[in-house]
Structure 1
Amino acid sequence: MSDARLIYLPLGGAGEIGMNMYLYGYGPEGEEEWIIVDTGITFPDMETTPGVDVIMADIDFIQARADRLLGIFITHAHEDHVGALGHLFPKLLAPVYCRKFTGYVARNKMERTGQDPEQVNVVGAWPHQVKLGPFQVGFMPIAHSIPETSALVIDTPAGRVMHTADFKADKSPGVGEPFDPDLIRSIAGDGLQALVCDSTNVFSPAPGRSEADIIGPIRDVMREARGLVVATTFASNIARLRTLAQAATDAGRSVVVLGRAMNFMLEAGHSTGVLDSFPPVVPVEDMHDIPRENLLVLATGSQGERRAASAQLARDSYMGLELKEGDTFLFSSKTIPGNEVSVGRILNQLSEKGVTVIDDSSDRYHVSGHANRPDILQMHDLTNPKIVVPMHGEHRHLSAQAKLATEQGRTAVVAPNGTMVDIGGDAPEIIGYVEAGRTYLDGNQLIGALDGVVRDRIRMALRGTVTVSLILESDGRPVDGAWVESLGIADASHIDGGLDGALEREIDSDLEEANRKTLLSDEALELLVTRACNRICKALAGKKPLVSVMINRLELD
């Protein structure tokens, strides 16, 4: 098809870190067939998205073309790549493809949202390929901080594309396949049409370190600690969990795992065969029978999550276990940008208990799962792409990788979320833009970011609310007086009846002076009451609240 285009279109993950979702399309304009790479989530915060459970990409664009959606490919089992699968699947209804470990997690996501887990198809690693329409897609093993991460090799009539997913240049990752330059070079051949590449650590100037580099320092911590040791890391990093557990076992400590996420990931590792060995784990109910100085607790919550085991141990206790002066708490993780406050809260709470805290400010106890700048350049050299498309990073990360590529004489394009790029020619061409918004999971409902639900919630939090109930005769005359309840506004206790009493009196006074036309119009009454509430609340509390007016009119028999 001479008029066919090879399209790259990110809906999430390009211009931000998290919520990854990328589309690839091929065909004539308006007739393209599509595949999705990853269906990830990001997490809300109380400042901008209070009450929201998780955040996903807006899929309106691809949902409108679901009849031409051929499949969904998941590169690995991190939440920012697979977490939205079960929630979005009913709107997409396309088969899902991934490797065995990722499939275990993906099927769990489907089951928990009431979807058919059999829609998740487990496929083998390269050279196996899935053929869907104009696409042939293979899973190339690559190192990351979770097992069986795969770059996707996407063959199209316009050439071969490699979508790296998250990766690091680690030849000794502990669990999972190593970074294999020879395999990458052989797949790239004389050069790729396009390399779509992880940008997360582009500002880190030194080559990335291996998981093997931190085994010694972790052994030292376990050997030198005197009291109870608690260690936290990303629950999905089962290579790290094994390193921590083995170091503790070698130091004569028993191992307990606290937290659903960690236990699930270890179960997934054992069930799929990627975790072929792990030290014995003591049942939680038996941990109180073991002397504190002989115990390691692996706890969830490395990012300060309030309900996770780490936060509960720092605040008070968890399942009867309390931290004491002389215990040690090891953060074998980096704090994700945006989580500094919640992690800092835990650090301070641990300090108040007299617990020795070891964080990773010295870079001794954690290595990143993402490629640093020299490793990104190595990927460019190994694949020799005609076009470099940076992804997985904020805009500054994308721009920095694009600059690296152009400095090496390659062609690159910065394409944040919503940017539609034709990558099938000698140079990338931006051919359009689509709305790349967000979808919120709020309780059990999916809502749009612009639906107003969260906006109203923020307004209530900032300004408080006043609810007013009015009962009127059929001719508009008030029956008794207004009833008022305010929430989230400081009470005027120095006034008779407090704030609510002052509001009721002001509304009643305004109703007495209102003309018949106003009293017979619900719209005019709402405006009268709202103005009265704003006037009194501003004078007494310095706030103009969100006002809700309930009008009940009596009818003659």
Structure 2
Amino acid sequence: MKKPDRLIYLALGGAGEIGMNAYVYGYGPKGKERFILVDLGIAFPDMDSTPGVDVILPDMSWLAEQADRLDGIFITHAHEDHVGGVAHMYRHFNAPIYARPFTANIAKRKMIEQGHAPENVHVVEAMEPVEVGPFTVSYLPISHSVPESAGLVIDSPEGRVIHTGDFKLDESPVVGEAFDPDLWAEVSKPGVRALVIDSTNVFTGHAGRSEAVLGPEIQKLIKAQKGMVVATTFASNIARLKTLADAGRDAGRSIVLLGRAMRRMTEAAMEEGILTDFPSVISPEDAKNVPRENLMLIVTGSQGERRAASAQLSRGKYLGLELKEGDTFLFSSKTIPGNERGVAQIMNNFSEMGVDVVTDADGLYHVSGHANRPDLERITGIVNPQVVIPMHGEHRHLRTHSKLATANGRQGVLAPNGTIVDLSGNAATVAGYVDTGRVYLDGAAHVGSYDGVVRDRLKMALNGHVVVAVMVDEDDDLLEDAWVDIRGLSEVGTNGAPLLDLLEDELAQALARVDGRTAADDDKLSDVVKRAVRQLCKEQIGKKPEVTTLITRLAAE
């Protein structure tokens, strides 16, 4: 008997966390479904939990094992947490990538950087149907903080699903398309089985504000400053970049863009015809010849990234430019949870320089790119779905949003990463679970979160590291004293003696007691060394360091 076909939804990233968005839709018999993937994003590391890591990617192992059943990858918009992982992970899938023109421009640049053919990225216009496997997918324009954002209308034999992507309800967004409620109502008329919806701002009780309200306040601020003005925002927020640049120009200032990501985004927006009247900019070299009271820098690093322009300016000069007492630095952005420490460090650095730091504490210089609770309820009412599945949020966001949908008379489904939801039939049901997690891009290598690389790095950071080298002759006799090197530990013990000398003395005594059987066994000999080192360090400095033992055995001639 033929197995019945089913329509499933599965988040591999982005549901239960902020970042790393990756959502799978499947249709067909259980275990033989054909898939599409919506978004493949990244998250950014921090020195506290992921030292040395470049970016964090969702663990796509489950889908990679079934890559022959993946018919297409659809990218909703050009934010890193939606498009940033595509090129890094493409070798696992080799499926066609679809995106609207601006997003495709960014995706192609990333593919080239990683050695993939940009022709694998296919440009799709708004509301142009794309048939892949059992699905027909169309891009449904929506406003957000990056141009050409879109939801997806996903049709299958089991019905229509609308996936919002990231969105806000902005009917005057400065750059990009305004929210069109009539269009959203029109595509919802045939009936919508499920609305899979952004949950980021579900806790914000007031309706969202338009990007257009910021211009006058930012202009007023810049015109009132006597020294150089520097502003930072998300590099992808093209509308905000234009608002800042227009305000600087109107205040009689020359505009400088600092940061690779910001230049890349503005270039892409100009290439695609999205930015047609952006103020002219000057180079950092030319800026050195402009009086500082006539300068405005727009820079990357609104989230405290150590290598971005904001952080480098806070530590001194960047490309020959520096801030001084009497200058002003504006954060036209909201600090994403987890980034507070890095942002605060930059603010304090500028404060020590005598720079005035302005934030959005009063709501004058930033508006969110995500829909607030009243907006979420409004769009849900327009779409009128049978089922609401919250996504793009931490677990508390998803749970609250799911309860909100239920309270409004719909079936709200809580489906964090790894939850397979069967959308077939009259009600959505949880049909199973798959393992999910994260993968670290560490230099050029992909490292699993359970591989121990980052864990060992953290242990060394927390406890320090001791290397001990021991030589053993052909008769299993220990030769000379052990050689010791320490890293990340106090150089002096509590008794005032050098820790290195104390360790060498302690090891000399411990190794002198070693019998022939222990000396002949590398593991046993290493255990003797580690115990002696950790015990001495615990007594002298209160730490039990990581210990690496190097055992060299001399062969008989």
State whether TM-score is above 0.5: yes
Equivalent pair of 1:71/1:96 in contact (CA under 8 Å): yes
What amino acid sits opposite 2:42 in the alignment? I
- Give 1:316 deviation, angstroms: 1.4
| Contact 1:190/1:384, CA 8 A, preserved across alignment | no
- Match of residue 194 from structure 1: 194
In terms of mean alpha carbon deviation, does 246-255 or 178-187 score higher? 246-255
Instruction: State which drifts further: 55-64 or 344-353.
Output: 344-353
| Offset at residue 508 of structure 1 (A) | 2.2
Aligned-pair distance for 1:190?
4.2
Offset of residue 372 of structure 1: 0.6
Aligned to 2:342: 342
Aligned to 1:81: 82
Q: Quote the Cα distance in structure 1 between the aligned partners of 2:40 and 2:489.
A: 41
User: Which residue of the partner structure matches residue 156 of structure 1?
Assistant: 156
Q: What secondary structure is seen at the aligned counterpart in 1 of 2:481?
A: coil
Contact 1:314–1:350 (8 Å) recurs in 2: yes
Indicate yes or no: 2:143 matched with 1:112: no
Say if 2:122 is the partner of 1:129: no
Equivalent AA in structure 2 for residue 137 of structure 1: V
Task: Provide TM-score, normalisation by structure 1.
Answer: 0.98
**Farther-moved stretch of structure 1 (21-30 vs 219-228):** 219-228
Would you say 1:62 and 2:63 are equivalent positions? yes
Alpha-carbon distance in structure 1 between the residues aligned to 2:372 and 2:497: 64
SS in 2 for 1:140: strand
**Deviation at residue 523 of structure 1 after TM alignment:** 1.2
- Partner-residue secondary structure (3-state), 1:8: strand
Spell out, residue by residue over 1:226-272, the C-alpha distance to the aligned partner (whole angstroms, 9 max, x if none): 21111111111111111111111112111111111111111000011
Q: Which structure 2 segments of 5+ residues have no match?
A: none
Give per-residue Cα distances to partners, 1:483-507, cap 9 Å, x unaligned: 1111111122687972222222222
Equivalent residue for 1:269? Answer: 269
Cα contact 2:493–2:540 (8 A) shared by 1: no
1:244-393 aligned within 5 A: 244-393=244-393
Offset at residue 556 of structure 1 (A):
1.1
Q: Tell me the SS of whatever aligns to 2:466.
A: strand
Tell me the amino acid that sits aligned with residue 387 of structure 2.
Answer: I
Match of 2:286, SS?
helix
Question: After the TM superposition, which residues 406-555 of structure 1 pair with which residues of structure 2 at under 5 Å, given as runs?
Answer: 406-492=406-492, 498-555=498-555
Partner of 2:15: 14
Partners of 2:30 and 2:494 lie apart in 1 by: 70
Tell me, yes or no, if the aligned pair for 2:285 and 2:320 is still in contact at 8 Å.
Answer: no
Distance 1:416 1:493, change over 3 A: closer
Partner AA of 2:110 in structure 1: K
Partner in structure 1 of residue 34 of structure 2: 33
Alpha-carbon shift at residue 110 of structure 1 (Å): 1.0
The range that moved more, 52-61 or 344-353, is 344-353
Aligned to 1:279, what secondary structure does the other structure show? coil
Which amino acid in structure 1 is aligned with residue 245 of structure 2?
A
SS at match of 1:162: strand
Deviations along 1:459-503, one digit per CA (max 9) or x if unpaired, are 111111111111111121012121111111112268797222222
Distance in 1 (alpha carbons) for counterparts of 2:250 and 2:512: 83
Deviates more, 1:367-376 or 1:241-250: 241-250
Quick one: distance in 2 between partners of 1:355 and 1:29? 61
3-state SS of paired residue (2:510): helix
Deviation string 1:206-233 (CA, Å, 9 cap, x unpaired) is 1100011111101111222221111111
Identity %: 54
Name the SS of the counterpart of 1:241 in structure 2.
helix
Q: What is aligned with 1:211?
A: 211
1 CA distance for matches of 2:244 and 2:484?
58
TM-score (norm 2): 0.98
Q: 1:315 Cα shift?
A: 2.2
Q: For the residues of structure 2 that align with 1:25 and 1:364, how far apart are their CA atoms?
A: 44
Cα offset, 1:444, TM superposition:
0.7
Map of 1:96 onto structure 2? 97
SS at match of 1:321: coil
CA contact (8 A) 1:412 1:428 kept: no
Question: C-alpha displacement at 1:555, in angstroms?
Answer: 1.1
Question: Corresponding residue for 1:23?
Answer: 24
Deviation at 1:2, TM superposition (A): 6.7
Q: Which amino acid aligns with 2:542?
A: G
3-state secondary structure, aligned to 1:131 = strand
Counterpart residue number, 2:146: 146
Give the aligned residue type for 1:541.
Answer: I
Q: Does the 8 Å CA contact 1:496/1:502 hold for their aligned counterparts? A: no
